[in-house]
C-alpha cells in the first residue's frame, strides 16, 4: 500500500468474515480477519462499511488476543456484534462467511478498566448494549485475582432477545454473579421480569466501593446512573457509553457534537461526572 494511501484516515481495511453466528432474530456476531493487525481496547469502536451501502460505528465485542479467537493463519480476529437497525446494518447482515467487510479504527476512548483493580465491578447492560461490555467481562475474568467481585445485570425485551447466551452461562460458571431479566416473558421463562434497574438488590455489590460499566438504551442509562449515584457510588466510577449519529468517527465532521464535545473522540465512554459537567444526557 502506498504511503499516501496509508495516511488517509478514511481509507478502510478489508476484513474477511471468517465466522457468522446468529445470536437472536436480529443480532449476529461477525468474526472478521482484517488484512492488517489492529490494537484496540474494550469500549472502542470501528467504522464498519460495505461498498455502496455505507458506514456505521460498531463497538469491538471481544478482547484483543487473550479473549478473542485467533485465525488459523495466526492473525488477530476481531468480533463485531451487529443488530439489524436500518439500511446499512441490514445489508451487513446479508454478508455471509467468506464475504468481506471494510473497517477503519479503532476510535474513541476505551473503558478505564484499571478503575476496577482492587474493587468490585458492576456491569449493567441492556439489549445490544451487552456487546461492548463483553470484552469488559472477558478482561475481568482474565484479571480475576485483582478484582474482588464481578456482577452482571443484563436485560432484554424477551428471552429470545438475550444475546451471548453461551457466554452468560460460562461467566456464571466462572463466578460472575449473572442476573438476567426480560421486559416480556415467553413460555418457559421463570426468571426476572421488568427493567434491569429493578435488580439492584440482586447485584450483591457494595455500591460505595464498586465501579460500574454501563451500556444500553438511553432511558436505561439515565435511570442506572441516577440510581447508582443515589446509592453512593462516586460519579467518577459510574462509567457509561453514549451513542450519537456518526459520520467520520474522528472528530472532523461534527455530526456527533454534544455539549462542546465530540462523542467519537472525547467518548463514547464517559463518567457520570463528565456527563453532568457537559450536559450530555
Interface positions with ligand FES (CB under 6 A): 246-249, 251-256, 262, 264
Residue linked to cell 502506498: 2
Q: What is the largest CA-CA distance in the chain?
A: 59
Residues 85, 157, 233, 206: what is their CA dihedral angle, to the nearest 10 degrees? -140
Buried b (16+ CB within 10 A) or exposed e, 133-156: bbbbbbbbbebeeebebbbbbbbb
Among 87, 142, 157, 252, binds ligand FAD (CB under 6 A): 87
Residue 106 is a binding residue for ligand FAD (CB under 6 A)? no
The entry of ligand FES, ligand FAD, none that residue 262 binds, CB within 5 to 8 Å by partner kind: ligand FES
Select the binding partner of residue 184 from ligand FAD, ligand FES, none (C-beta < 5 to 8 A, by kind): none
Q: Measuring CA to CA, which residue among 224, 230, 223, 226 is closest to residue 208? A: 230
Residue 108: count other Cβ atoms within 10 Å of its Cβ: 27
Among residues 107, 106, 180, 176, the alpha carbon closest in space to that of 142 is found at: 176
Q: Does 128 bind ligand FAD (CB under 6 A)?
A: yes
| CA Rg value for the chain | 18
Please state the closest distance from residue 281 (CB atom) to ligand FES, in A.
Answer: 17
Q: Does 245 bind ligand FAD (CB under 6 A)?
A: yes
Q: How far is the CB of 43 from ligand FAD (least distance, A)?
A: 9
Nearer to ligand FES, 140 or 256 (CB): 256
Segment interacting with ligand FAD (CB under 6 A) among 16-24, 57-65, 190-198, 229-237: 57-65
Give the footprint of ligand FAD on this chain (CB under 6 A).
45, 54, 56-59, 81-83, 85-89, 128, 131-132, 243-246, 268
Amino acid at each position: 500500500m502506498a504511503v499516501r494511501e496509508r495516511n488517509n484516515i478514511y481509507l478502510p481495511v478489508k476484513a474477511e468474515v471468517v465466522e457468522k453466528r446468529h445470536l437472536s432474530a436480529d443480532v449476529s456476531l461477525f468474526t472478521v480477519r482484517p488484512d492488517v493487525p489492529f490494537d484496540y481496547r474494550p469500549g472502542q469502536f470501528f467504522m464498519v462499511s460495505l461498498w455502496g451501502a455505507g458506514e456505521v460505528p460498531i463497538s469491538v465485542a471481544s478482547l484483543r488476543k487473550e479473549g478473542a479467537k485467533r485465525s488459523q493463519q495466526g492473525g488477530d480476529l476481531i468480533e463485531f456484534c451487529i443488530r439489524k437497525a436500518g439500511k446499512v446494518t441490514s445489508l451487513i447482515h446479508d454478508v455471509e462467511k467468506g464475504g468481506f467487510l471494510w473497517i477503519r479504527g479503532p476510535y474513541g476512548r476505551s473503558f478505564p478498566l484499571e478503575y476496577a483493580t482492587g474493587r468490585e465491578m458492576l456491569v449493567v447492560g441492556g439489549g445490544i448494549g451487552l456487546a461492548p461490555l463483553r470484552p469488559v467481562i472477558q478482561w475481568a475474568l482474565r484479571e480475576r485475582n485483582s478484582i474482588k467481585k464481578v456482577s452482571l445485570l443484563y436485560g432484554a425485551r424477551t428471552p429470545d432477545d438475550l444475546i451471548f447466551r453461551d457466554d452468560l452461562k460460562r461467566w456464571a460458571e466462572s463466578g460472575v454473579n449473572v442476573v438476567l431479566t426480560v421486559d416480556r416473558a415467553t413460555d418457559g421463562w421463570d426468571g426476572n421480569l421488568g427493567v434491569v434497574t429493578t435488580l439492584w438488590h440482586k447485584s450483591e455489590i457494595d455500591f460505595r466501593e464498586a465501579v460500574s460499566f454501563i451500556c444500553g438504551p438511553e432511558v436505561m442509562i439515565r435511570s442506572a446512573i441516577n440510581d447508582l449515584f443515589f446509592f453512593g457510588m462516586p460519579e467518577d466510577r459510574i462509567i457509561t457509553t453514549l451513542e450519537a449519529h456518526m459520520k467520520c468517527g474522528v472528530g472532523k465532521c461534527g455530526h456527533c457534537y454534544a455539549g462542546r464535545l465530540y462523542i467519537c473522540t472525547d467518548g463514547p465512554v464517559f463518567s457520570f461526572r463528565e456527563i453532568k459537567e457537559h450536559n450530555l444526557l
